[in-house]
Amino acid sequence: MPSEFLKGFRVLDLSQFLPGPYATQMLADMGADVLKIEPPRGDPMRGLNPVTNERGPAPFHAAVNAGKRVVAIDLKSDTGRDGFAKLVKASDVLLESYRPGVFERLGFGRDCLRELNPRLVHCALSGFGQTGPLRLRAGHDINYVAMTGGLGVTGTKDNPVTAFPPIADYGGALQAVAAITGALLGRERDGEGAYLDVAMADAVLAWQAYGLTQANAGRVPARGGDLLNGGAACYQIYATQDGGFISLGAIEEVFWQNFCRALDRDDWTSRQMEPMPQTQLITEVAEVVAGHSRNHWDDVLGDVDCCYHPVLDYSEVPDWPQVVDRGLVEDGGSIRFPVWTDGRPPPGRTPMQEVSLADAIAAWT
């Protein structure tokens, strides 16, 4: 089971908001013992409540930190620093998301951590990285994606459109987990820890090879004008009569042929590779799709091999047959670790547990 992969490894999580906590939650899902350290005032995510827009504990904070123990430590106090040092000595991994230089000012720079625990895998997860002219610049997901070129080719012809959920946050978390697990494997070989500088902007930049390769060949991708970002009729989102939408990903010729045949429009078949943006062809397909409801198109295309799927609202997702079968969505909207192992779905998580510093130290030393 995934919950056994990292059993026996101890992880200190000094991150806030979404990226770091999601990364350490994945480590917890794979069996690591994760202790999340928050300042006395708590992770700011506790008060950021876009889920319900109400005052009080934010439900997403509890969701993204499920499977962990949480302790409040004042790293500016002698007691807090002494207790934290004891935890570092007993840890395998430390993930922090401070702005570059802050952790050093708290007295726990790279040299200090290496002295406390030479086998420690220290992951510094930040927006732009620990080096470069933007290393100290404040930012959020939208800014990191903007730097990579990805935002510039996402959206309509007139305007870029922000992606949701925040891809740099989740991409940075995934990159951190990949680097941490690799470093732990390397440590098993040579016994040495590692310092990992992971930037959310870098993580999304690493996904831009397709567009940068195009640009290097002299053809800069145009927003709403290329195959994968709105310029093709065969790879498109279409509105239905009842205000819904359907998605079509019929890139391969056979899928496009099957789609055209299902709509009794064989005359579209030979037009799949017309120059992009395929404004006229997209308009023709859109007019046909707009003539019927989403349920109608589900009946017509649901069993056709053409890379079709209705665009679901969040209210529909938990009860969607494929989602139910995979067993990932828990009550309240939390999502389990998205990996089946040996034919079995992932287990549920234990709720987030608040603990004292004394209990945290006792458990690890």
Q: What's at 306, amino acid-wise?
A: C
Q: How big is the CA angle at 107 (ends 106 and 109), to the nearest 5 degrees? A: 105
- Give me the mean pLDDT over the 210-237 stretch: 92
Confidence of residue 50 (pLDDT cuts 50, 70, 90): low
Q: What is the pLDDT of residue 162?
A: 93
| Residue of 136, 255, 121 whose CA lies nearest to 195 | 121
* pLDDT at 52 > cutoff 60: no
Sign of CA dihedral 336, 317, 229, 152: negative
| Residue of 108, 130, 92, 111 whose CA lies nearest to 12 | 92
Q: What is the pLDDT of residues 309-347, one digit of tens each?
A: 999 999 999 999 999 999 999 888 889 999 999 999 999
* Rg (alpha carbons) of the chain, rounded to whole number: 24
- Give me the mean pLDDT over the 125-131 stretch: 97
The whole-angstrom separation of Cα 290 and Cα 191 is: 62
Q: What is the pLDDT of residue 327?
A: 95
Q: What is the pLDDT of residue 55?
A: 60
Confidence of residue 247 (pLDDT cuts 50, 70, 90): very high
Q: What is the pLDDT of residue 329?
A: 95
Q: What is the pLDDT of residue 65?
A: 94
* pLDDT at 54 > cutoff 80: no
* pLDDT at 189 > cutoff 60: yes
Catalytic residue among 29, 33, 43, 169: 169
Omega cis (within 30) before 165: yes
5 C-beta neighbours (distance < 10 Å), count: 16
- Give me the mean pLDDT over the 180-207 stretch: 97
CB 213 within 8 A of CB 220: no
Q: What is the pLDDT of residue 300?
A: 98
Mean pLDDT across the chain:
94
Sheet of 245-249, strand order: 235-239, 245-249, 308-310
Q: How, if at all, do strands 93-96 and 235-239 pair? A: unpaired
Give 152-159 contacts, CB < 8 A, sequence gap 24+: 152/223, 153/211, 153/221, 153/222, 153/223, 153/226, 153/229, 154/223, 154/229, 155/223, 155/224, 156/223, 156/224, 156/230, 157/222, 157/223, 157/224, 157/225, 157/230, 157/277
* Residue 300 to residues 105, 255, 286, 296, 306, Cα–Cα distance (Å): 63, 14, 16, 6, 11
Confidence of residue 227 (pLDDT cuts 50, 70, 90): very high
The separation between CA 313 and the C-alpha centre of its own chain, rounded to angstroms, equals 19
Sign of CA dihedral 30, 31, 33, 38: positive
Q: How many residues does the chain have?
A: 365
CATH superfamily of this structure's domain 235-239+245-310: formyl-coa transferase, domain 3 (3.30.1540.10)
Q: What is the pLDDT of residue 1?
A: 59
Q: What is the pLDDT of residues 157-175, one digit of tens each?
A: 899 999 899 999 999 999 9
Beta bridge pairs of residue 115:
none
Q: What residue spans define the domains of the chain?
A: 2-207+345-364, 235-239+245-310
The separation between CA 178 and the C-alpha centre of its own chain, rounded to angstroms, equals 13
Confidence of residue 45 (pLDDT cuts 50, 70, 90): confident
Catalytic residue among 74, 140, 305, 309: 140
Least confident of 46-55, 230-239, 273-282: 46-55
Quote the percentage of the chain above a pLDDT of 70: 97
* pLDDT at 295 > cutoff 80: yes
Q: Among this protein's residues, is 140 annotated catalytic? A: yes
* pLDDT at 261 > cutoff 70: yes
8-state DSSP, 226: S
Helix/strand/coil for 120: coil
CB 45 within 8 A of CB 21: yes
* pLDDT at 46 > cutoff 90: no
* pLDDT at 53 > cutoff 60: no
CATH of domain 2-207+345-364: 3.40.50.10540
128: burial class by Cβ within 10 Å (0-12, 13-18, 19+)?
buried
User: In the structure encoding, which two tokens stand for residue 97, read together?
Assistant: 């998301």
Helices 294-301, 253-262: crossing angle, 10 deg rounding: 120
8-state DSSP, 130: S
User: In the structure encoding, which two tokens stand for residue 234, read together?
Assistant: 């065969």
Q: How big is the CA angle at 124 (ends 118 and 129), to the nearest 5 degrees? A: 135
Q: What is the pLDDT of residue 21?
A: 97
Q: Among this protein's residues, is 169 annotated catalytic? A: yes
